[in-house]
Amino acid sequence: MERETPKTFCALAWVHSFVNIGGEYQVCCTADEFSPGIDNGDGKVLNIKDNPSLEQVMNSSYMKEMRAKMMNGQWSSACLRCLEGEKMGGTSRRQIENDRYAHMIPSLIKATHHDFSIPLEIKYADYRLANLCNLQCRMCNPRSSTMWLKDWNNIKNPNSGEIFSQKSMSEFASYDWIDSPYLLEELKSKVRSLDTLHFAGGEPLVTKQMSRMLEICVEEGVAHKILLSYNTNLTRIPEKVLELWKQFREVKLLVSVDGPDKVNDYIRPPIKWQVIEKNLRYLDENAEKYKISEILLSTTVQAYNILSLPDMYQHLKTYRMVDPAMNLINLYGPHYLRTQILPPIVKDYASEQLTKIKDDLLKRLPDHQKYLVQNIDLIIHFMYEEDLTRLIPEFRRFTNEIDKLKGMKFAEYLPNLHKMINFGLHC
């Protein structure tokens, strides 16, 4: 008799390998904020620079304990984002991946040993290729972007708890694990079983190691079996990479776009919206040529862009095959950039506009994309979940500091938000 799938089961704990920005092995990118990584019971996180085997990572005491909890219907602390998303009625990463690997779940459960170790067959590999990046996004940090190394500590409030030590800054500036020959050997150890290979950064399309890893897939004769996917800012699309994409089964792009026109320019300096738009148009028009099966915009929803989302949804209607809905992700940190800091008048207006968008999308989206509409409910729910208007002074302080650094003015780039925050606080 086939065993019922536990309600907390996540296929990623069986079939997924994730290497994070600093070379740390973690369960998945969704667990990044809630777990330092996979250790083997000694408190030290396993890191690719130490050349651990796939067996050491996937059958570590950490992973066996996580699988034990999942099989017993318990939630691990690393899985809090999925837990919270499901509580709010949204579709979590866990649910999406379980749908993708639904055909494998019975055999994964059956093959799990009594000690919760598993046979090794990685289907989905995810690499965050360090922090080399060409953008200095306002909500980002020096661990994720080298562009923040110089300025971070100078503009952060000394009492905010966000100041990094010199030791940490030195680590962020020297992520050299991606230069190790072991990175390529590590990929080779699992490439033959892969159905999905994902890259992020930093910015993966400016990282030379990424294209070498694509070449390995071609050399091993398995590229045609692999779905290749990216988190990318799409500021650059190298010709060499485009040619390599033709060798893969298909390519999916999750493009980080936080708003159109001046909203993009304000949140994601120094790139200009015209560059993103030009590259989006090119790939939209040449998708078949480069085996691109999906282009989905991913938006980090925060105080700066909550009011511009309707404009972005309207703009999406002008593309041929870019998805008509965005993948919306709530910004959790820093707290003073959350949508929860906004005055009630701004929240109410944003909620009203997002509800209209949701109603429109429900009429147009195919069933397999309906989760993108559910994300709108998560955005609204999160916005009202906590009142953080007390943090508006810190929001203003931080905004002014970056404005001075970049030669920008909040009131000029985001005039509606500027007026509504002031009006909402009766300033």
Q: What is the pLDDT of residues 182-202, one digit of tens each?
A: 999 999 999 999 999 999 999
3-class SS at 376? helix
User: Given this model, what pLDDT does residue 423 score?
Assistant: 66
Q: Taking a C-beta distance cutoff of 8 angstroms, is the pair 298, 327 a contact?
A: yes
Average confidence score pLDDT of the chain? 94
Cα 327 to Cα 50, 125, 258, 351, 408: the distances in Å are 35, 21, 11, 17, 28
The pLDDT of residue 426 is above 70? no
User: Given this model, what pLDDT does residue 1 score?
Assistant: 39
pTM > 0.95: yes or no: no
Residue 391 CA to residue 303 CA, distance in Å, equals: 11
Residue 136 CA to residue 102 CA, distance in Å, equals: 39
- Averaged pLDDT, 31-40: 87
User: Given this model, what pLDDT does residue 424 score?
Assistant: 58
The pLDDT of residue 427 is above 60? no
pLDDT tens track for 64-73: 999 999 999 9
Contacts 24+ apart (CB under 8 A), 73-80: 73/6, 73/7, 73/8, 74/8, 75/8, 76/35, 77/34, 77/35, 78/26, 78/27, 78/31, 78/34, 78/35, 79/8, 79/10, 79/27, 79/30, 79/31, 79/34, 80/34
3-class SS at 259? coil
Asked if omega into 260 is within 30° of 0 (cis), the reply is no
Q: Taking a C-beta distance cutoff of 8 angstroms, is the pair 147, 235 a contact?
A: no
Residue 410 CA to residue 402 CA, distance in Å, equals: 10
User: Given this model, what pLDDT does residue 3 score?
Assistant: 60
Q: By percentage, how much of the chain surpasses pLDDT 70?
A: 98
